[in-house]
Amino acid sequence: MTETFDVNATLGADELVRLTALQMAERLRAGTTTSVELVQAHLDRIAAHDGDVRADADGDRGVRAYLHVNTDEALAVAAEVDAIRAAGGPEADALHPLAGVPVAVKDNIVTRGQPTTAASRMLEGWLSPYDATVVARLREARLPILGKTNLDEFAMGGSTEHSAFGITRNPWDGDRVPGGSGGGSAAAVAAFLAPFALGSDTGGSVREPAAFTGTVGVKPTYGAVSRYGLIAMASSLDQIGPAARTVADAAALQQVIGGHDPLDSTSLADAPADLTAAARGRDLAGLRVGVVTDLPAEAFHPGIRAGFDEHVAALREAGAEIVEVSCPSFDAALGAYYLIMPSEASSNLARFDGVRYGHRVVPDGGGTIEQVMGATRAAGFGAEVKRRIILGTYALSAGYYDAYYGSAQKVRTLVQEDFARAFEQVDVILTPTAPTPAFELGAKTDDPMTMYVNDLATIPANLAGIPGMSVPGGVVDGLPYGLQLMAPAREDARLYEAGAALERLVAQRRGGPVWAGAPELEKGAQRATTATTAGGRA
């Protein structure tokens, strides 16, 4: 794409929003587009096609990616960048290379001055008194924040259907889910409602939506990006990461938000690698690519299996060395994840008690604090959140702790050992990201286990803390699917290098990037203005 990019071309709003984030940045630096123009182009497109996530889905064919649109602030930041650039001088020279390029933020990452709900009634109307570190870094670099995107409540789910406010549609097929939990961020990026966005990945919540929407999603090494200000689900698994249309854009965004943060005690002190340089890619010749022999073939859609095999053959043809690696513990990883995650979540979500902030429900006729807590949490949490809290409380309770939580932590050790052995033989590991393409809305909401199985291939990376990335592989039955790359811990640069090379191979084979093939969007319902206005407690 970049080969044919003319920074001076005259572009309409529809063409502007289809540029990559790095192309937008180049035009801003060249002065051929202003940040206000760029932000306004996205806001207009949101107004036309995003609809209103809080409206009845039956009457709204919009994408419904945004829970809150941050119009005034985004335009103000854009105008600031434009003014600095127009004035020239040292301040203009010191602008971040991405300054003025808009970005969207998943709504479980706290932001001052606009709501943060985690898609839960529990936090409806709440305003954070502080910014997450990643948000502070976006502000420092002067990236206008377009708004906050929809998710499964507290990031618990794989389809964004568990949002307390409403569903988000897959831009490729409005009757299908965009994946989850970060379906809003992925759908916004795929639908050109934002060039890139932040997500959070606990078991695949950035990578699976990327696979479902034909975009790129990255879970960095655990600790490579600060979690300060991410509303915690499972603290030993949660990781903030970028969603974008290209590997290079994802790298550029991780470069902005990553690096050590003293406010997160699990943050790595490593010197930051040059991810933007890494995302220029590498020669596939000599790249050692591991293919896991232990993933259950029958769980994967035949079209995805066939697509995966074709890409493996193409990699081999391009000079990559394909090595079969055995990861026998992957079999138990899903079970371990669905014990560790709810256990940690049950503890993390204890803070939502109706005392210091958020929702409070007082039972009829008053009540003790215990009764108020019980009523508050009954009304504030949705069914999936309650399910995970109860499951976690069970797994941690006396008499069951060793059998469940303890065993799961041992499986975690085995998964790490599997990866360590595999990475002695290979540079990266390649799997399909999700077993199926995007499924229909409502298809999996009745049986939690069918939804959980979706995370089969993405969970091991979270358990081991290693970085993983979903790159679009192609289209099956009119829907995109993803290829997942994984690299050893702290080797995010290697992941971006290999990811960019794989992305280029896929584009060569298809004659263009997967995301460019997304169909035209339908019109959305008009957004009710009151529902998205900051301030005022619900």
**Catalytic residue annotation:** 106, 181, 205
Report the site for another protein in 440-479 (rule: CB under 8 A): 447-449, 452, 462-466
Pairing of the two strands 428-432 and 288-292: parallel
300 closest CA partner among 473, 463, 530: 473
| Residue 358 engages another protein in binding (rule: CB under 8 A) | yes
Neighbour count for residue 9 (Cβ, 10 Å): 9
Nearest distance in Å: CB 360, another protein: 4
**Rounded CA separation 531/526 (Å):** 12
Closer residue to another protein, CB minimum distance, 466 or 514:
466
Residue from 211, 253, 268, 498 in contact with another protein (CB under 8 A): 268
Report the site for another protein in 78-107 (rule: CB under 8 A): none
Report the site for another protein in 5-64 (rule: CB under 8 A): none
Report the site for another protein in 272-331 (rule: CB under 8 A): 329, 331
User: Could you tell me the CA-to-CA distances from 441 to 207, 444, 480, 533 in Å, in that order?
Assistant: 19, 8, 16, 28
Binding map of another protein across residues 217-256, x = CB under 8 A, - = no contact: ----xxx------------xx-------------------
Q: Are 347 and 340 in contact (CB under 8 A)?
A: no
Q: Are 429 and 485 in contact (CB under 8 A)?
A: yes
Residue from 188, 373, 429, 438 in contact with another protein (CB under 8 A): 373
The DSSP string of 474-485 is EEETTEEEEEEE
| Residue 398 engages another protein in binding (rule: CB under 8 A) | no
Structure tokens at 102: 């808009």
Residue from 408, 438, 500, 501 in contact with another protein (CB under 8 A): 408
| Residue 364 engages another protein in binding (rule: CB under 8 A) | no
Whether the CA torsion 99, 104, 105, 107 is positive or negative: it is: positive
Residue from 359, 444, 494, 527 in contact with another protein (CB under 8 A): 359
Distance of CA 501 to the CA centre of its chain: 21
Closer residue to another protein, CB minimum distance, 172 or 222:
222
Residue from 154, 165, 196, 381 in contact with another protein (CB under 8 A): 381
Nearest distance in Å: CB 384, another protein: 10
Structure tokens at 50: 């995003």
Eight-state DSSP code of residue 380: H
**Rounded CA separation 498/208 (Å):** 19
| Residue 338 engages another protein in binding (rule: CB under 8 A) | yes
User: Could you tell me the CA-to-CA distances from 455 to 126, 169, 385 in Å, in that order?
Assistant: 31, 20, 17
**Rounded CA separation 445/120 (Å):** 17
Residue from 357, 445, 510, 531 in contact with another protein (CB under 8 A): 357
| Residue 370 engages another protein in binding (rule: CB under 8 A) | yes
Of the candidate spans 9-17, 40-48, 354-362, 513-521, the one that interacts with another protein by CB under 8 A turns out to be: 354-362
For residue 432, give the 3-state DSSP assignment.
strand
Of the candidate spans 59-67, 154-162, 180-188, 392-400, the one that interacts with another protein by CB under 8 A turns out to be: 392-400
Report the site for another protein in 124-183 (rule: CB under 8 A): 126-127, 129-130
229 closest CA partner among 104, 112, 132: 132
Helix (H) or strand (E) holding 187: helix 183-190
| Residue 262 engages another protein in binding (rule: CB under 8 A) | yes
Of the candidate spans 36-44, 248-256, 295-303, 408-416, the one that interacts with another protein by CB under 8 A turns out to be: 408-416
Binding map of another protein across residues 413-442, x = CB under 8 A, - = no contact: xx-x--------------------------
**Rounded CA separation 218/239 (Å):** 10
Beta-bridge mates of residue 468: 219, 486
Residue from 489, 502, 505, 518 in contact with another protein (CB under 8 A): 489
Nearest distance in Å: CB 167, another protein: 21
Nearest distance in Å: CB 386, another protein: 6
